[in-house]
Structure formats: structure tokens, C-alpha cells
Structure 1
Amino acid sequence: MRKLLNTLYVTTPDRYLSLDGENVVIQSGGSEIGRVPLHNLERIMTFGYTGASPALMGKCAENGIELVFMSGSGRFLARVEGEVSGNVLLRRQQYRFADDKQNSLAIAKNMICAKLFNSRQTIERTLRDHPMRIDTEKFEHCSQLLKKSAEMAKNASDADSLRGIEGEGAQIYFSLFDDMILQQKDDFCFTSRTKRPPRDNVNALLSFAYSMAAGMCASGLEAVGLDPYVGFLHTDRPGRRSLALDMMEEFRSPLCDRFVLTAINKKIVSPEDFEKREDGAVLLNDGGRKKFITAWQKRKDDELKHIFLGEKMLWGIVPYAQALLLARYIRGDLDGYPPFMWK
């Protein structure tokens, strides 16, 4: 199993990254404020249009270290990468699967069934942990609806109907999201999912978490030799990592949504960690991003048991494990793609 190395996050916009021997140097105003050995890193993520020297870019590409540029809101901008990993035969087979509607549908159905199953598990976990603070009848009703949605997804006849089922399931699930927020209700009220841009504090946290998870999935897919841009449910679009978005569906509820709920309910984040722009967009500010990323790193180090593999692993490794299972299925080593199921 792959070793989980460190990720260097640079969250302040005025930082500049350069190379000194085998170290990445962080500079501010021309002065060095820190350095980190490259051999300890698997990824460098910068937020807010931070600059980096060509020498550092080349060294990262040579050593297989991702150098990712994100906007301040967590939107993916660009990535420096070296030679494409993996063998051409695996990718050619992936492209054949993507061009075949039935093969694509089979993989997509498993991913969406897992998403709906995991969403239901989040609801069931809240029912178990906080029965005195929620409307249990409402939660139980929605849980049963999601169970039916998963059964419908399993029997979907085409991709469009599967997307419709997934969308209805998401509406059912998010209808309970505000009820799962138990603290700081005045400042973290959720009414509906807004994406581009997020319109409130909760949506800002969700969007940032989804961006982080999508990056983890893309890295896992590339590590096993798959093309993260060619998906089975999300259609092809220039610059969109469609397969990473497909795989991320499995992680939205157990990794991202639960993380956001924990950050709010345990008061890891506060109203002072956000900024509202003139266009109505609500984003994490510098301090908020630092709090978020610190807690996110701790979450990646939490251990869980992978149901299909029967092994204990860190959350940060799970997307890689799923990418490995997907590659095995595409190569013909497995009879079907086993999605991530959380309990």
C-alpha cells in the first residue's frame, strides 16, 4: 500500500516558493521565512495565486511531487506534473470503457449506489448519536427514501436516469443537513446547496472540502496510471477531471460532509473565518483556510477499516486504494468495481 507523505499547504497569497538544493524555500517580501525538505513531500498546494520559481517546478516534476495552484476559494487552477505515470495499455482500456455506454454505466452505478449508501450512513449515524436533538421521524423517513434511491440507481437503465436518481437523492440528503448542524446555528444556517459561488458559510466549507477531496482522488488515479480527465458519469470537458469527480461521489458524505459538520459543531471554525464579497460569494479567509487545512490534515491521519479490502488504513490513503481497485477492474482482474462503502 502506498505510503502517506506530507502535503505542504501555502495559504497566504504573498508567499513565493523557490528551490535551494533539495529544499523548497518559502519567501515573503524577498526574505526566507521557512524551508521544507522535498523528500518529505508528495504534494505542495498553494492558495491565492502564490508564485513559484521555474527551478522548483522542474524539481517537483522530476521527483513526482505535485505542485498545485488553487484560488483562494479552493478552486483548482493548474498543476505542474512530470511524465505521465502508468502504462499505455491501461489507459487505452480506460478510454474503451469510457466510450462504451454499458461499461461506463456499470462503473457509474456502483459509484452512485455507494454515494447514496454513504449518505444514508451519515443520517443513521446522526440518528444514533443525537436522537434527542433531531426530529427522528424525519430522519428515519429520509433514510428509507435514500435506501430506495440506491435500489433504483442499481437498476438504472442509462446515464441520464442515473443522474436524475442521484440528484433526487442529493436533495433528500441535503434537506436534513441543517438539522445535523447542532452548534453555532445563527451563523451556520444551511438552506440549499449553492456552488459557483457559495453563498453562505456552510456552502463555503462544503465547496472547499470537495475541492480538497477531488485533488486527493485525482492524485490517486494518476498514481495507479489512470487518466483523471476521462470519466464514466461526468462528461468530458476541457480542464475538468471527470474521473476524479466520479470517484469523489463516494467520499462526499463520509469524508467531506462529516468533516464540515464536525468543524462547525466542535467550533473549529467561527464566523470570523469567512469573508463576503460584493457579488455575494462567501469564502474562507486566510485564517479560516489555515484552521480548515490543519483539521483536514488530522482527518487524513484518522484510521478506518476498508470493507472490501478488509484492511485498516488512513483516510488519506483511501482514494488511492479505490483508484487501485478501479484499475484492477479495468484490467480485468476483478469482476466489478467495488466502490467505497463507509460504516
Structure 2
Amino acid sequence: MTRVLVVAAHGARIRVHRRSLVVESNGERMVAPLHEVDRVVVATSGVSVTSSAVRLLARSGVGIVFLDARGDPIVSLEPPWINAAAETRLAQYRASVENPLAYARAMVAAKLGNQAGLLRSLARRTGAAWLREEASEVEKLALRASSAASPEELRGVEARAARRYWGSLARLLPGGLGFRGRDHSSRDPVNTVLNYLYGVLYAEVFQALVVHGLDPYVGFLHALRPGSPALVYDYAEMFRASAVDSLVYSLFSSRGAPEVRVDPETGLLDRETRAELVKSLYQWLRRRAVDSRGQAEPLERHIRLYARRLAQSLRAGAEYQGFVEAWRP
């Protein structure tokens, strides 16, 4: 289980004392022994980290990620050792030119499989017969994605599944939330939280890919653009439903739905809300999930395992099987 230290207080300072991390903020002091920390997430601006702390974290194999107000990772500092990086990246570059569609199909089909699985799980929980029908339609599209003949066809199948999937979740969630479906630019609370938590998920995916020697900027479906981590976006698709969508549904469908505080001028979440969401996500990533192979692991471990399997698949030139959760009620 990954133990994550989240620092979300503006003006906080992170330093080292006797092989422990010390976080000081507003006159308060928290001490975290280094052996109890696997990852540090800085979820706000105005936080300082001493060079001694950075060096000690690097030597101890602990990564640090800095998030902006939208939840997007600004920078991720990882330990300076990577497994089979040269061989893996050469194979990745070759596959991105010679056979990108095979990997894109595997990831999109897995994404749609998880969307269908979540809808089927919600159908069992709510007793809504129409949800089972929607889940079946998305499952059919997942099969079509696995045999798409071109990137254009694959994107078309993905878009059709998205309309059914997000339309179903919109019908389930309380109407007062103003959620009409997935819209990156919408300022309704559900879309705002989705945007933020996807950014945090990208940070975790980035770390998993880099540690296993993969180049996060060279993907198979998302376009190659300077500074855009295309493989992060491709790979994260497989984990969106399990890691974020199911959490967001759980938060907003319960009686104790979170108070989402948004700055009316910027449309961004305030610091307190961001801190609460980051903590909720890391708790959610610790839940045990069974994959299609029958392997039960915390979700955070599946993110790392499937990155390792992707690297192995590329080096061997073998078929890649994406992450699909065996959803339960």
C-alpha cells in the first residue's frame, strides 16, 4: 500500500529532521518518519521544500509531485533509477511508428470495458433495468474498439460509448447538481471535480510509467505535441472509471455530498476543497480491485503493474491486455 503525504496548506514548509519529514504551517508542526512515506503530493502553491528534503527523498526512492489549481501535475520528481529504460523506450518508439493502433485499441477497449462494468455495478445497486441495457451497449462498443481498423474508427467508437456512459451517470445523479454529461468547460460541481481528480490521476500514471522505463510523452492514440504527455493520457483512460468516476459518483450520490467551493472568478476549486479531494482519491486508490485475470490488488498497485506489463509487452513485441476491473455490486 502506497503511503502518501499530502501537503495542501498555503505557506507550508517541508524540511528534514533526523530522517523524518517535518511539515510546518501556521504555527503547527507535523512529523512523518521517512520509512512511513512512499510519495509526497504538494497540492497547493506557496509551499517550500528544502534541498535537503529533496535529496533525502530521492535517495530513499520517494517521489514528489506538484499539482496546480486544476489538479494537473506541474512537475514530478522521481528517484534517479529506472528499470530497463533504454531497451523499453526504443521498443516504445518503434511501436509508436509501426504498430500504434494495437496498443491504442487495447487501452480504449479496456476503458470502455470499465465504463460498462461501472454501469452494470450501479444497475445492481440501484435496481435500474435501463442501466443494464446501457451497460450492454457500451460492452458491445468495447468489442468494436478492440477490432477497430483505424484511429478514426476507434475515436468514433469511443465517442459513442462516452455519450451513453455519461448520459447514464447524468440520469442517476441528483438533478440539482446541473450535471448534463461530461463537459471539460462546464463549471457544474461534478465536472469541476472530475477535471481536478483526473489531473491527480495523471500524476500517479506519470510516475508509474517513468519508473518502468516508458516515455510518458510518446503515446499511441493521443497526438504527439511538445510538452504533452500523450502516453499518460492514453494509459490513464483504462483507470478513469475505477479510480475517479466511481469515486465521484459515490461522493455526489450520497446524502453527505461534499461541499464544492469554487472561486466564481476563476472557476477553480478553493484550497480546502482540493485538499479534501486529493485525500479522498488516495484513500479510494487503496481499495482492492479484482482485474480480469482474477488478480486482487489495491487499485494503486494495478496502475503500477499494468505499466510494467506494458513495458514488457513492448520489449517482447507481444500483445498487450489492458486493465479491466471485475466489477462487483
Q: TM-score, normalised by structure 2?
A: 0.90
Shift of 1:257: 0.5
RMSD: 2.1
Residue by residue over 1:40-70, the C-alpha shift from the partner in whole angstroms, topping out at 9 and shown as x without a partner, is 2221111222222222223223333211111
- State whether structure 2 residue 271 is matched by structure 1 residue 286: yes
Residue by residue over 1:107-145, the C-alpha shift from the partner in whole angstroms, topping out at 9 and shown as x without a partner, is 1101111111111111111221112xx5x33x3443343
Distance 1:231 1:265 in 2: 35
**Is the contact made by 2:73 and 2:202 (CA closer than 8 Å) also made in structure 1?**
no
Distance 2:222 2:18 in 1: 41
Consecutive unaligned residues in structure 1, runs of 5 or more: none
Q: Provide the secondary structure at the position in 2 that maps to 1:231.
A: coil
CA gap of 1:32–1:128, structure 2 versus 1, over 3 A, is closer
Distance 1:233 1:268 in 2: 38
- State whether structure 2 residue 122 is matched by structure 1 residue 122: no
Distance 1:151 1:339 in 2: 13
**Is the contact made by 1:268 and 1:291 (CA closer than 8 Å) also made in structure 2?**
no
Distance 2:225 2:33 in 1: 36
**Is the contact made by 2:76 and 2:207 (CA closer than 8 Å) also made in structure 1?**
no
Shift of 1:341: 1.1
Runs of 4+ in 1 over 4 A off after TM superposition: none
Shift of 1:221: 1.5
Q: Provide the secondary structure at the position in 2 that maps to 1:228.
A: coil
Distance 1:221 1:32 in 2: 36
Residue by residue over 1:51-109, the C-alpha shift from the partner in whole angstroms, topping out at 9 and shown as x without a partner, is 22222223223333211111133121112234251221121111111122xx2110110
Residue by residue over 1:3-43, the C-alpha shift from the partner in whole angstroms, topping out at 9 and shown as x without a partner, is x33111111222122223422221225x5511212222221
**Is the contact made by 1:16 and 1:26 (CA closer than 8 Å) also made in structure 2?**
yes
Q: Provide the secondary structure at the position in 2 that maps to 1:339.
A: coil
Aligned letter for 2:183?
Answer: T
**Is the contact made by 1:86 and 1:226 (CA closer than 8 Å) also made in structure 2?**
no
- State whether structure 2 residue 310 is matched by structure 1 residue 326: yes
- State whether structure 2 residue 260 is matched by structure 1 residue 260: no
- State whether structure 2 residue 8 is matched by structure 1 residue 20: no
Q: Provide the secondary structure at the position in 1 that maps to 2:321.
A: coil
Q: Taking CA–CA contacts closer than 8 Å with sequence separation of 6 or more, which of the two structures ends up with the larger relative contact order?
A: 2
Residue by residue over 1:261-294, the C-alpha shift from the partner in whole angstroms, topping out at 9 and shown as x without a partner, is 11112345433x3123314x242x3332333233
Q: TM-score, normalised by structure 1?
A: 0.87
| Alignment size in residue pairs | 324
| 2:280 match | 295
